[in-house]
Amino acid sequence: MPTELWLGGALVAAFVLYALFGGADFGGGVWDLLASGPRKAEQRALIAKALGPVWEVNHVWLILGVVLLFSGFPRAFAALSVALHVPLTLLLLGIVFRGTAFTFRTYDARGDKVQRRWGLVFSVASMLSPALLGMCVGAVVSGDIRVQGLAVVSGFFSAWLSPFALAVGALALCLFAFLAAVYLTAETREPGLQEDFRRRALGAGVAVFLAALGVLVLAREGAPRVWAGLTGSPFALALHAATAVSAVLAFGLLLARRFWPARVAAAAQVGLIVVGWAASQYPYLVVPDLTLQDTSASTATQRALLVALAV
């Protein structure tokens, strides 16, 4: 297998891991914002406890993805950071505020007004970031980013503000919230809290289904290439069948209150969706002008990167 395929695979792996771990952290912030009912404070405490030791590690997968992209596929990175300059900048602001607000809140535990304000910043930033991330993904697959030579010729806004891209943003948000709620059911032994998050997971699951339907409908017009990829090859169909099975499974297990297996099924569902996204746009990195092959770095660099990754 040529080195650029291995690197492409590593890139997809980084995004899957980021969705599974970093995504759930974002989702935790969403539930922090939506905390309600008699156990409001306990819900927030559980979220903070689950996130505390891990969010920085989880964050590394995003950095890994960016580094792989700019050293393995430099031209694609350059094109994306020009075409998506605005949403990526906003995403950065979201990431900055989410991380710092969470840490400030945790390490300055006094329960005063300052601390509560940080909580609000943390949760709002947690909602905006995944939506922006989804919009960027939507723009990449839609085929609306056009590149000639080294220059981006499609402007700085239309690609990520198309209805299709917005729908992908909504899907990403729902998906991460769903994932977080399912994870949280297995983070506590307290039945009341488990019920809270089980109900939230089921609600978010329905939202995921609706958003996915919306993306599918809009894809026909908004992302013809993906539409063809989704419905065309047998491999893609198998992937989507597997995704559907794990989604149904996750739902069933939640209904049956089998929280640990539900967690695995939900993770599989999200992972498969990311892999499905990658498969449907292969061999393109930026549909329809840049492919994995023609943006790739020299073989020596790619080898060195793969060795560095293996370490």
Partner 1 sequence: MDLLYARAQMGLSLAFHIVFAAAGIALPLLMVLSDLKARRTGDADYEVLSRKLAKGTAILFAVGAVSGTVLSFELGLLWPAFMGTYGEVIGLPFALEGTAFFTEAVFLGIYLYGRERIPAGLHLFSGVMVALSGAASAFFVTLVNVFMNHPTGFTPTAGGPVDVDPVAAMFSPGWMHQTAHTLLACYQASAFAMAGIHAFVLLRHPGAAFHRKALSVALPLACVTALLQPLVGHQSAEHVAREQPMKLAAAEGLFETQRGVGLSLGGLPDVETGTTRYALEIPKALSLLAFSDPDAEVKGLKEFPRDEWPPVAKVHLAFQLMVGTGGAMALLAGVTLLLRWRRKAWPEGRRVLWGWLLCGPLGVVAMEAGWLVTEWGRQPWIVRGVMRTAEAVTPVQHLAAPFWTFTLVYLFLGAMVVFLLVRQVAGTLPGREPPEREVSHAH
Nearest distance in Å: CB 46, partner 1: 16
Give the Cα separation of 181 and 18 in Å (integer).
17
- Tell me if residue 184 falls in helix, strand or coil: helix
Total binding residues toward ligand HDD, as defined by CB under 6 A: 3
Buried b (16+ CB within 10 A) or exposed e, 176-209: bbbbbbbbbbbbbeeeebbebbbebbbebbebbe
Instruction: Using CB under 8 A, count the residues that bind partner 1.
Output: 57
Site residues (CB under 8 A) for partner 1, limited to 114-153: 114, 117, 121, 150-152
Q: Report the alpha-carbon distance of residue 45 to residue 234 in Å, rounded.
A: 46
| 53 touching partner 1, by CB under 8 A | yes
Of the candidates 134, 112, 133, 114, which has an alpha carbon nearest to the alpha carbon of residue 122? 114
52 interacts with, out of ligand HDD, partner 1, none, CB within 5 to 8 A per kind: partner 1
Beta bridge partners of 284: 291
Binding flag, residue 293, partner 1 (CB under 8 A): no
Give the separation between CA 118 and CA 36, rounded to whole angstroms.
18
Six-digit token string for 73: 């596929």
Contacts with ligand HDD in 58-97 (CB under 6 A)?
Answer: 59-60, 63
List the single partner that 112 binds among partner 1, ligand HDD, none, CB under 5 to 8 Å by kind.
Answer: partner 1
- Which residues contact partner 1 by CB under 8 A? 52-54, 56-57, 59-60, 62-64, 66-68, 70-72, 74-75, 77-82, 85, 88-89, 92-93, 95-97, 99-100, 102-104, 107-108, 112-114, 117, 121, 150-152, 156, 297-298, 300-301, 304-305, 308-309, 311
